[in-house]
Amino acid sequence: MSQQRTGHEAGITGRVGAVTPSAVPDFPDLPEATVARLPEYLRALHHLAETGHDTVSSEGLASAAGVNSAKLRKDLSHLGSYGTRGVGYDIEPLVGQIEYILGLNMRRAVALVGVGNLGHALAGYAGFASRGFRIAALFDADLSRVGELINGLAVRHVADIPEVVKTEGISIAVLATPAGAAQAVADQLVAAGVTSILNFAPVVLNVPEQVDVRKVDLAVELQILSFHEHRKSARNGADQNGSGARNGADQNGAEARNGAKGTTSRGRVARVIAEVNGTAVAARGEVAA
């Protein structure tokens, strides 16, 4: 990716409203994390516009997008958008600017390969259209699926990929085949001219450098949540051990004070261990060395 000037470096300051998509002098070289957050800002901005808002504060937009406001201001500054003190960001031009950066000011044609359980659900999802995408072609290798209509679109055989990709101007494909078929399908797509792949198959694809692949794996997301669950329970356990340790110390203290009358808990534990091991216990209640 080439190094680009940001709007700030290019002298674009002040209200977002002063910056139109055509005013972006060069294509900004955005951090990947910023790119990943832009769709969230866009979703939140669309919602704000639909509910009658013209402007939004950075705090309001950050909260609607689920990020912190310092991060949001930094992200938008990469686009040359700084908002206006006391006013915030003008929503309409900011929407235009983010859509321009994300390349959504044209509706992109997308191909979907592998129209099984997952593929059917994706092909039938109405939300892609409102987010800037048109499912332009469905492909499968199974002849019994070819010709099936999903949302008015007929499933084509994978042999038609080169022709359809060309005629429909498709550059993005969604891959929903079994893992074993995914690499060969990716090769077919790339040979046909596809340059971006959203891969649902649990396999790492080898593609040429100019091809972008994003992998979606819900099992990985669940595994990450599992880690958080594990960590929460480990911390809770540590907390309980902590209070247990404090309680233990209190009890030890009490037992030490009562030591003359009876045996300490440490002594009792030692005795049990000794009984299990068949070893002797020292007179003071300690395990014999």
Ligand X SMILES: NC(=O)c1ccc[n+]([C@@H]2O[C@H](COP(=O)([O-])OP(=O)(O)OC[C@H]3O[C@@H](n4cnc5c(N)ncnc54)[C@H](O)[C@@H]3O)[C@@H](O)[C@H]2O)c1
Binding site for NAD(+), residues?
114-119
Q: Are 97 and 21 in contact (CB under 8 A)?
A: yes
Asked if 26 is part of the footprint of ligand X (rule: CB under 6 A), the reply reads no
- Location of structure tokens 């689920």: 66
Asked if 176 is part of the footprint of ligand X (rule: CB under 6 A), the reply reads yes
Closest by CA to 94, choosing from 108, 86, 84, is 84
- Provide the minimum distance between the beta carbon of 179 and ligand X in the complex, in angstroms, as a whole number: 5
Cβ distance to ligand X smaller for residue 222 or 273: 222
Q: Which of 14, 66, 116, 253 binds ligand X (CB under 6 A)?
A: 116
Q: Which of 54, 217, 229, 275 binds ligand X (CB under 6 A)?
A: 217
Radius of gyration for the alpha carbons in the chain, expressed in angstroms and rounded? 31
Q: Which of 34, 55, 177, 264 binds ligand X (CB under 6 A)?
A: 177
Asked if 103 is part of the footprint of ligand X (rule: CB under 6 A), the reply reads no
Binding residues: 114-119
Asked if 114 is part of the footprint of ligand X (rule: CB under 6 A), the reply reads yes
Stretch that binds ligand X, among 101-109, 176-184, 229-237, 273-281 (CB under 6 A): 176-184
- Provide the minimum distance between the beta carbon of 270 and ligand X in the complex, in angstroms, as a whole number: 54
Dihedral of the alpha carbons of 197, 200, 202, 203, in degrees to the nearest 10: -10
Q: Which of 218, 280, 283, 289 binds ligand X (CB under 6 A)?
A: 218
Beta strand spans in 70-118 (E): 89-90, 108-113
Asked if 119 is part of the footprint of ligand X (rule: CB under 6 A), the reply reads yes
Asked if 245 is part of the footprint of ligand X (rule: CB under 6 A), the reply reads no
- Provide the minimum distance between the beta carbon of 103 and ligand X in the complex, in angstroms, as a whole number: 24
- Break the chain down into helix, strand, coil percent, rounded to 5: 50, 15, 35
Closest by CA to 263, choosing from 286, 244, 240, is 286
C-alpha separations of 61 from 19, 30, 84, 204 in Å? 18, 20, 14, 36
Asked if 117 is part of the footprint of ligand X (rule: CB under 6 A), the reply reads yes
Cβ distance to ligand X smaller for residue 71 or 157: 157
Asked if 201 is part of the footprint of ligand X (rule: CB under 6 A), the reply reads yes
Dihedral of the alpha carbons of 72, 75, 78, 83, in degrees to the nearest 10: -10
Which helix (DSSP H) or strand (DSSP E) does residue 119 occupy? helix 117-123
How far is it, in rounded angstroms, from Cα 48 to Cα 61? Answer: 9
Asked if 178 is part of the footprint of ligand X (rule: CB under 6 A), the reply reads yes
Give me the 131-150 binding string for ligand X, x by CB under 6 A, dash otherwise. --------xxxx--x-----
- Report the SS3 class of residue 17: helix
- Contact positions vs ligand X (CB under 6 A): 113-119, 139-142, 145, 158, 176-179, 181, 184-185, 200-202, 216-218
